[in-house]
Structure 1
């Protein structure tokens, strides 16, 4: 694995992992999958990609989750307003990114409950953005566009202005005609319930 400071990309990753996992009944961040927690799997995937830096936004259960993480080469952020919704975690991530890496050209927003995200997908988002110059590159699956999704810095102000449960998908919809995409057939597989977890292909 290349050290973060040697990577050529100026595109960061923010992993949104602050939610309570109410429907699941326990922190999905800590569910085991292929020998790692879902969150650690997401972190390792981001570290294997061209992106840098990697930021992780925690909220609910943050202390227990932090104890389980290999924290090298990532920045862990604590969103004290996580109960207000996804928008607060996006704001927490973008605000801190602008402080620690103001040169960042874009950011990839990803969640930890899509277990089939891999480094190639993240790199494909970056490559598509650099080749097409489109401001948003989303993942395409199940007749929709969603995460992981890349947003150019020109959209940071709008990401910071999101409120409540309004996530970045609202910007994907707003700029639908201008959004690029890469195919991610397994993107619709996420973990919201115990049944989802039991049915997860091992």
Structure 2
């Protein structure tokens, strides 16, 4: 089973407003991010935190979305990564992607997929790394045992990473500020 952990627990402080349900296309930023992941993955573990009730209400009936509340979301993103990893149900490699990336080309998931991955797979375009990332199942116990102040990037580097060249700049397009939202929304409209 191809699983993706999508992180949607944060406060959106740099945006100044909660970004997950901002308008995007015919839906929201998070709708689009979920659609991209589900175009390749069988299941998305949606890790919620801030305003979790709204997301649980919106997606609770979706058969391919497993809702996973992170009560420690204020502790930072790594706590959400740990919560998502704890909810995995297969022994296969798994993706991690932020929920504020509504324009990731679904082909990126396919380009990264390695059913027998033993190293982390990172997409690279124009010499820059991005998201989603594919992690091998052997990294899951390390993530779960790591202290809360850990950093996923450091754990990935320690485990070993393979860069995968992709042609889509969408691996860089996250929405952290109102300017980024307006710029990307305008570019893709």
* Long gaps (5+) in structure 2: none
Distance in structure 2 (CA, Å) of the matches to 1:144 and 1:173: 16
Asked if 1:112 corresponds to 2:112, the answer is no
Q: 1:78-93 alignment to 2 at 5 Å?
A: 78-93=69-84
Deviates more, 1:107-116 or 1:159-168: 159-168
Shift of 1:151: 0.5
* Pair 123,15 (structure 1): closer, same or farther in 2 beyond 3 Å: same
Q: Which residue of 2 aligns with 1:154?
A: 138
Shift of 1:145: 2.5
Count of residue correspondences: 184
**8 Å contact 1:18–1:79 — kept in the other structure?**
yes
Q: 1:16-55 alignment to 2 at 5 Å?
A: 16-49=7-40, 51-55=41-45
Q: Which residue of 1 aligns with 2:87?
A: 96
Q: TM-score, normalised by structure 1?
A: 0.81
What SS does the corresponding residue of 1:19 show, helix, strand or coil? coil
Shift of 1:43: 1.4
Q: TM-score, normalised by structure 2?
A: 0.86
Distance in structure 2 (CA, Å) of the matches to 1:85 and 1:53: 24
Q: Which residue of 2 aligns with 1:64?
A: 54
What SS does the corresponding residue of 1:147 show, helix, strand or coil? coil
What SS does the corresponding residue of 2:130 show, helix, strand or coil? strand
